[in-house]
Structure 1
Amino acid sequence: MVLVGRRKAGAVEHPPFDCHRDHGPYAGVDSFLTTLAHDRPRLAAAHAVELAAIAPGLDPSPRRAAEEQPIRFHPARRTAALAYGAAEFVHAWAAGLRTPVTVHFVHTADADETTAELLAALGRRLADGPLRLALHTDGPPTPVPAVRPEELRAALGDSLARGFYHHAARVARRGRAITHDPGLRWSFTTGLATALAALDQASEALQLYAETRTTTTDPKILMSAAYATAMLYARHLPPAEQDQGAARDWLGRAIRLAADLPDPRQRVLTTVFYEQGVALLDSREGRPDRALATIDSGLSALAAVLSPGERPQDWARLLHNRAQVHLALGDRQRALAGLDEVIERDPGNCEYYADRAALHRAAGRDRDAFDDYAAAIRLGPHLPEAYYNRATLHDEHGRPGKAREDLRRVLAIDPRHVDARIALANLDLGRAALDDAEAGVRAGLAVSPDEPQLLCTLGLIRSERGDLAGADDLLTRALSADPGLAEAWTNRAAVRFEQGDPAAALADLDHAIALSAAPEPLFNRATALLRLGRYAEAEADLTAALALPDLDAGLRKEIRAELARARTAATAPVGG
């Protein structure tokens, strides 16, 4: 590799970066990013969160003690956001190059998933630019470092805390294979199960806990395994395999075992957090009052054993749970006050800002919502849902250009984000950019060919182009995939109406109205009824549409005009 240097000769040679997975997550690319960060520290500061996550040596702040590690694990998809942010940093760095530079990476065929993902993101972002990547599948031999089980356990904990689950799973499997110590083996087993659950392999995690129960009588291990099993049934198994009753049974076992813990402080802390699982189930089952009582009891118990300022993330977790229950009870004011306190105690968690932004938005405090979305994006970093929600807010404020920018960011991070694809296509339709809208939707269908919402949107685009037969076919395909998609019924009705078949349009709109409380199906059905001369029914639909809350001003005007027309037609003399 040749990097722009600070020597008088003008350039510095750098050996290839070794990406072999045995060097850990982000092997090779972490060193590459560190080199660039040292070259442009001010630019690196604008990408501090993602760079520190990939290359921890760039973060000068002290690492948390083991007891203070985050109690919420990162979602597996976070690495895609890290890759996006790092690629943006490298692209900005490369913009200052005056001559082409080539970077060499070796052992890319044996890279960790995080490294492969980031190299792919760099390849897309740097295409046709002055910074070029040379990826070599082989390279000099990479010896496997000899490590002791305790070092493996530390590496496992670090990978889990940072959200690098493929590496964590490999480390855990290696640890399980070489240790016979019961405590260490349990650490590797539960670490492996945690990684598998994050990677959507919860069924295998469930088997690991079942295996553990056949090989140990240690009450602490059985307690932890019971709680973890409950969470798999409640959250992580595929929806068809989730079992809230089984989750409740396993939580009961875990709580009973926690009652026998010898340390009084640990007994209280463990019981409180296991009971949060019970509160979750109560809330899901329509009993928010019971959930709220459990959470309040837990907060009182924490206050009895924790000193002021101690374990702020633990406090924040319970307060966040309580805010969510207040929201479920319809008390937005208490939910918002709760989130204010949550963020005060744990200001580094992006999830809390995203939740509070939604409440600000619902209350009409859009400036505060924008601020919280910005914080969520910075801390996430590059949280796709925060970009998406901010895009919709930009659109509501008449800033479609900024909305498109945010939606493009969402899709750069997560090409499978269907809602972002559709929102971007609608913005393109709004500016009559049919080619852009169709290209974006087809890009989504290349990833998910049978996605009904994308088929529906493409049908709408084909209709705008005047291809009514093609639109009808696409909308019919969408309805075959999802008969509950009200938008597809509504759009196909409009197409069939334009094709001169109001009766078929009417049948589709009956389906749409049964599925949706939106005003558009009612308005469209009224239009079809007017064509068929059924004026009283049309008047009823228009009156119902006009009574709906939050009606768009433009649509309200059209509804009133059609209502006047229906009433006039209904009173006109026959043949007059």
Structure 2
Amino acid sequence: MTGEPGGHDCHRDHGPYAGVADFLARIAADRPRLASRHTVELNAIAPRLDHAARPAAEEEPIRFHPARRTACLAYGATEFVAAWARTLRHPVTVRFDHVGSADETTGELLDALTRSLGTSPRRPGLLSLDLRDGGPDPTAAADPTPQSLRTALGESLAGGFYHHAARTARRGRAMVTPAGDLRHWWAFTTGLATALAALDEATEALELYHEARAATDDPKITMSAAYATAMLYARHLPVADRDPAQARDWLERALHLAAGLDDRQQRVVSTVFYEQGLALLDNQAGVSDRALRLIDDGLARLAAVLGPGERPQDLARLRHNRAQVHLALGEPARALADLDTVIAHDPGNCEYYVDRAALHRAAGRSRAAIKDYGTAIRLGPHLPEAYYNRAVLQQERGRPERARDDLDRVLAIDPGHLDARIALVNLHLRRGAFDAAEAGARAGLALAPQEPALLCTLGLVRSERGSPADADELFTRALAGDPELVEAWTNRAAVRFECGDVAAAVADLDRAVMLSAAPVPRYNRGTALMRLGRWDEAAGDFANALDQPGLDRALRRDLRAELARCRHAMAR
């Protein structure tokens, strides 16, 4: 900060979040109450702040964070810094050195901070960042050993910092060979493959497992490689390259090798774990009853070999799998019971709250769903999908301001989230904020130029602003991308009706009515048919619309009035 002899060293050799972690830790020490509202992201970015954390080497993770989590951490850290900046009384400049050589996590967070400072309407200029590619020579790191690199690799994988994990693993693989140090070589190889799969480079990960099988016939390594290969074929390879049959074959090889393990507990645990892959494939193939039997049997076998409180996350994962199978079998009550048990045993996993919220939402328990989404956001932290789903519920509950706040957060974390962009633009449109709606639609179209829903919404804005030709062209482009987009047929019909082309409007509304039983297309078509003097057909549309459930009072009143007009005209 201003007046300090040097800046924060961001060089990637110092690991994920180098430089920014020091900066955040200093603020946290100075503002502990503020830091307490951002515990999850601060502990992830600056682990020394988490006094209860155990070294990664002591953990046995059965799941890994998605790569997009770092964007969520950056958003939370930016909120923390912005809140701190609002307490400043004098301008402060924070210097960061070696930004051009920073790890991807550091760069992502600095980018988020720069955007935030550039758009903050509050007390502009009090906090500024001095970002330098150069700076004093980076502090020399201690010469790494295979063990120190392996520890660093484990920490990066556990944190979801996959670019740094991949670099560390490649560095480790360059130091050892399978003939000279098989244990470390395999750790670096499988660690690199895990990082690559998370970064959507699963094809290279597959090649690494083929290399491992060529390098050794060690049964534990070939067993692990077989399972990992199966998961690549089942979930991670590009969609065109996924192959359930190959995945099943590799799982069977892993199970064969697991059956030969000497230690009974490890044999059972590994076997049950690999069988969950078979259950996944069965559930995907629609054989959910067989998947359920595998999971139930696995839970029973684990209970027989595990002591009280042992491997709770493994048990929670199996019950979570069972909840998904119950859902596939059309048994949401059983799925909910499993998720309640899962959360009781593993309350720190955000994924479980998201799944339970979806069940609450489907059952109409919106308050319970909103509460679970809130917990997922806190633990995640800042999961875009949880914010988005909560926004939808807030909108359904008549709370548009809260919905807009959540949608703004989604887009701050993930500017490419098109569903959130579309929902936010439509909220702006409903409240008559046409400038905001048009700006939002154009921002979305800059990322996805042919997105039908955004073209449709922009068409509505242009129509409201008295540009029917622009609107018609935008609706037509939307329909070229999605011929089943009812809103585009309905709105293009409205534009053509207002321009006097009533026959074209009716033709568009014919398509809308074919695609949807909603009352508005029929109401609009009835109105157009009345203009053409086709009173009997118009009356049929109004009567049909009146039969639809859930009509709001104003629409019901208008439909009755128009139906009466038709009947009066036909009686003359």
TM-score by length of 2: 0.92
How well do the aligned residues superpose, as a CA RMSD in angstroms? 2.4
Matches of residues 114-129 of structure 1 in structure 2 within 5 Å? 114-127=105-118, 128-129=124-125
Deviation, 1:541, is 5.2
Matched, 1:140 2:131: no
Paired residue type of 1:244: P
Map of 1:112 onto structure 2: 103
Matches of residues 440-479 of structure 1 in structure 2 within 5 Å? 440-479=440-479
Question: Does the CA-based 8 Å contact 1:486-1:512 persist in structure 2?
Answer: yes
Question: Does the CA-based 8 Å contact 2:462-2:468 persist in structure 1?
Answer: yes
Map of 2:410 onto structure 1: 410
Compare 124-133 and 25-34 and name the one that shifted more: 124-133
Question: Does the CA-based 8 Å contact 2:56-2:155 persist in structure 1?
Answer: no
Which of 166, 177, 185 pairs up with 1:169? 166
**Alignment CA distance shift 1:64-1:147 (3 Å):** closer
Map of 1:307 onto structure 2: 307
Map of 1:355 onto structure 2: 355
Matched, 1:336 2:345: no
Question: Does the CA-based 8 Å contact 1:69-1:161 persist in structure 2?
Answer: no
Map of 2:213 onto structure 1: 213
Q: Distance in 1 between matches of 2:558 and 2:262?
A: 72
Paired residue type of 1:457: T
Question: Does the CA-based 8 Å contact 2:475-2:491 persist in structure 1?
Answer: yes
Q: Distance in 2 between matches of 1:568 and 1:62?
A: 78
Q: Distance in 2 between matches of 1:295 and 1:553?
A: 50
Question: Does the CA-based 8 Å contact 1:68-1:311 persist in structure 2?
Answer: no
Q: Distance in 2 between matches of 1:543 and 1:215?
A: 75
Matched, 1:42 2:33: yes
Deviation, 1:389, is 1.5
Compare 258-267 and 54-63 and name the one that shifted more: 258-267
Map of 2:83 onto structure 1: 92
Q: Distance in 2 between matches of 1:254 and 1:229?
A: 10
Which of 128, 131, 153 pairs up with 2:127? 131
Map of 1:6 onto structure 2: none
Matched, 1:74 2:71: no
Matches of residues 150-549 of structure 1 in structure 2 within 5 Å? 150-180=147-177, 181-513=181-513, 515-516=515-516, 518-532=518-532, 545=545
Compare 67-76 and 193-202 and name the one that shifted more: 67-76
What secondary structure does 1:443 align onto? helix
Map of 2:93 onto structure 1: 102
Question: Does the CA-based 8 Å contact 2:57-2:154 persist in structure 1?
Answer: no
**Alignment CA distance shift 1:287-1:515 (3 Å):** farther
Compare 137-146 and 383-392 and name the one that shifted more: 137-146
What secondary structure does 2:174 align onto? helix
Deviation, 1:207, is 2.2
Matched, 1:51 2:48: no
Map of 2:121 onto structure 1: none
Deviation, 1:191, is 1.2
Paired residue type of 1:138: G
Deviation, 1:102, is 0.5
Deviation, 1:243, is 2.3
Deviation, 1:226, is 2.0
Matched, 1:83 2:83: no
Compare 375-384 and 58-67 and name the one that shifted more: 58-67
Write out per-residue CA displacement over residues 354-389 of structure 1, whole angstroms, 9 at most, x where no aligned residue. Answer: 221222223333322222121111101111111111
Deviation, 1:564, is 5.2
Which of 139, 146, 151 pairs up with 1:149? 146
Compare 548-557 and 327-336 and name the one that shifted more: 548-557
Write out per-residue CA displacement over residues 488-511 of structure 1, whole angstroms, 9 at most, x where no aligned residue. Answer: 334333333333334434444454
Which of 6, 9, 28 pairs up with 1:15? 6
Q: Distance in 2 between matches of 1:31 and 1:276?
A: 41
**Alignment CA distance shift 1:456-1:106 (3 Å):** same
Deviation, 1:111, is 0.6
Compare 382-391 and 253-262 and name the one that shifted more: 253-262
* Percent identity between the two aligned chains: 68
Deviation, 1:241, is 2.7
Q: Distance in 2 between matches of 1:259 and 1:516?
A: 55
Q: Distance in 2 between matches of 1:562 and 1:274?
A: 64
Question: Does the CA-based 8 Å contact 1:526-1:539 persist in structure 2?
Answer: yes
Q: What residue ranges of structure 1 are gaps of 5+ in the alignment?
A: 3-11
Compare 129-138 and 502-511 and name the one that shifted more: 502-511
Give the number of equivalent residue pairs: 563
**Alignment CA distance shift 1:59-1:554 (3 Å):** farther
Question: Does the CA-based 8 Å contact 1:326-1:334 persist in structure 2?
Answer: yes
